[in-house]
Chains A and B, each alone.
Chain A
Amino acid sequence: MQIIDAANLDYRAVNEALRGTGSDYLIEGCLGQRFIAAGMSDKNLTINGIPGNALGAYLNNANITVNANAQDAVGDTMNEGKILIHGNVGDTAGYGMRGGKIFVQGNAGYRAGIHMKAYKEKIPVMIIGGHAGSFLGEYQAGGVIIILGLHKDSKPIVGNFPCTGMHGGKVFLRGTCEDIHFPKQVTARHADTKELEEIRKYLAEYCSDFGYSADELLSEPFTVITPDSKNPYKQMYIAN
């Protein structure tokens, strides 16, 4: 384990230190440095302090653990690997993510999972323990987003306009979500046994990371949202 004291380093210097030959790193005193571990592979990184925006952007099979909150655009366009956040994430977590996992113990800001996509064996997975802000899964094209609502602080599990522009992938919200308004172009229904089996392996991993019980989580109903292929989004902005 190599230790990087980030106190007086800018983001270039932090990333330069991370590009060393070692595989296990600990960043201490992180305070807003952007692009940490961008595009990196084969590293195990733990961060103490607050990482800046675009943590793990283009991540290519590295593991990042943050012992606090993270800011905006965590895992922007990440390809492979895993980002584990023991706190909240800001806006646009998993922006354009196309592989790997983002597991968040706390809440997510606006536009979590915007434009996530999937291709063959590449299926990105994002799990948020608390609640998510408005525009969850906006323009989602693939992958799996799961919101658990474990600690909502009396807020709804998701804000306004969830799944706007969705045309692929799945969103799972724990609970029946009767008071949540979804757009007409998506279908929200109770997740069936097969779908719950699909997400069990992800939830089991999440629970082992954060110390919850997957069986307990799955004992409550989940709502699954998918695009309505009979009534897809078209001509959202212009007639073309």
Chain B
Amino acid sequence: MKIEGQVRIPSGCAISAAISKDGNKMSGEMIINSIKPMHDRSNGLGGGFAGYGIYPEYKEFYALHMFFDSRETRKECEAFLKERFEIVHSEVIPTRKIPAITAEPIIWRYFAAPLKSVLVSLQLEEKEFVAKTVMKINAEMPGAYVFSSGKNMGAFKAVGFPEDVGVFYKLEEYEGYSWTAHGRYPTNTPGWWGGAHPFTLLDYSVVHNGEISSYDANRRFIEMFGYKCTLQTDTEVITYIMDYLLRVQELTLGETASVIAAPFWSTIAAKTDLNAQKKHTYLRTMFPSLLITGPFSIVFGFEGGLMALNDRLKLRSMVVGEKDDKIFIASEEAAIRSMEPNAENIWSPAGGEPVIVNVKEGAF
């Protein structure tokens, strides 16, 4: 069988998220429950979660979550990693055997820090080095795939329905201040473990419902900066665009939203706030190739926060609600109600209107 990245099949998904602005921890069980009422949005070919604040005991280390196709590949990859990282802890990621999830690859995690000597000799900043290493493994080491590489966070994903994926990874045993979830209905690719969402790089993660029509234009542009899109799936390119705009170009989240979901020129021209008009004109002019067109609703996770964003035409649904210290985001209100039956202020952000939630400084 051809694996994802080798096949293209020219069709929906479910997303949900919860975050505590006070940094209060929530068990992974809640986010699993959120995805249940949206079961019919997925087709069993992918589910996944990202949790933030889940590894407090190793929070200074990059948590590399990896899939391997064989023991040999793992040994080979570990030898590669040991030349570049100090690995303080490595283990099989605990899973449950359940009938709904089959054909699992070998799934490991490594808590690691880049070797100082390597950073000095390559003259690379730590995050850049880790990002480059992830790209290298995913593009050049057949059978090995890094699916999570941030500090004090982790992605968990598989082929299956998301509620089963959560049970498979024993997410009820983890506690995080922020969670995202995804149920997949793959549209252009056959659905492999690595292609399930969230897509991640460093502490950035993306869950996405939609199908962007600018994929190739975006890919061609982003690959000029060292990113390698290995899976042909649109969410991967969104993740790298976010990393490029936020980490490399140092744009704010709001500015990044204005690049990828830029308003129409006619909307910009009609703006009465001249500073806003100037800013939007500048951003569209600077990064025309990073405008993402076609339907998308995404939740973007990062250390200490979340951002939700719809495409500028709002071709996918997204609902936001709140209760006390928590903000909930989902494709459907039913998902929010299953996390918090008494959620308040339920509203739908407009197309291209980012919803940015930050955890209080010092609380994560």
Q: Are A52 and B37 in contact (CB under 8 A)?
A: yes
Q: Are A72 and B317 in contact (CB under 8 A)?
A: yes
Q: Are B334 and A91 in contact (CB under 8 A)?
A: no
Q: Are A32 and B314 in contact (CB under 8 A)?
A: no
| Assembled-state Cα–Cα distance A69/B313 (Å) | 22
Q: Are B338 and A109 in contact (CB under 8 A)?
A: no
Chain B interface size range: 20 to 34
Q: Are A31 and B37 in contact (CB under 8 A)?
A: yes
Decide yes or no whether B40 CB sits under 8 A from chain A. Answer: yes
| Assembled-state Cα–Cα distance A160/B333 (Å) | 24
Chain A's closest residue to B40 (CB) is A34
Q: How far is the CB of A187 from chain B (nearest CB, A)?
A: 20
Find chain A residues with CB under 8 A from B267 CB: 160
Stretch at the interface among B54-62, B104-112, B192-200, B345-353: B345-353
Q: How far is the CB of A53 from chain B (nearest CB, A)?
A: 7
B301-324 Cβ-contact flags toward A at 8 Å (1 or 0): 000000000000110010100000
Q: How far is the CB of B310 from chain A (nearest CB, A)?
A: 9
Decide yes or no whether A162 CB sits under 8 A from chain B. Answer: no
Given A52-B37, A110-B314: A88 in contact with B346 (beta carbons within 8 A) = yes
Find chain A residues with CB under 8 A from B270 CB: 181
Given A11-B40, A133-B348: A71 in contact with B314 (beta carbons within 8 A) = no
- Which residue in A71, A133, A134 is a CB contact (below 8 Å) of B332? A71
Q: How far is the CB of B185 from chain A (nearest CB, A)?
A: 14
B322-356 Cβ-contact flags toward A at 8 Å (1 or 0): 00000000001111011000000010101100000
Find chain B residues with CB under 8 A from A91 CB: 314, 317, 348
Q: How far is the CB of B328 from chain A (nearest CB, A)?
A: 13
| Assembled-state Cα–Cα distance A52/B351 (Å) | 21
Decide yes or no whether A4 CB sits under 8 A from chain B. Answer: no
Provide a sorted-by-A list of 23 A–B residue pairs whose CB atoms are within 8 angstroms: A32-B38, A32-B332, A32-B333, A32-B338, A49-B337, A50-B333, A50-B334, A52-B334, A69-B333, A71-B317, A71-B332, A72-B332, A88-B346, A88-B348, A90-B317, A90-B319, A91-B314, A110-B351, A133-B314, A133-B348, A134-B314, A134-B351, A181-B270
Other A-B pairs, 18, CB within 8 Å; known A91-B314, A134-B350, A134-B351: A10-B39, A10-B40, A32-B333, A32-B335, A32-B338, A33-B37, A49-B337, A50-B333, A52-B334, A69-B333, A71-B334, A88-B346, A88-B348, A91-B317, A109-B314, A110-B314, A159-B350, A160-B267
| 9 pairs of A and B residues whose beta carbons are closest in the complex | A32-B334, A32-B37, A110-B314, A50-B334, A31-B334, A31-B37, A50-B333, A72-B317, A109-B348
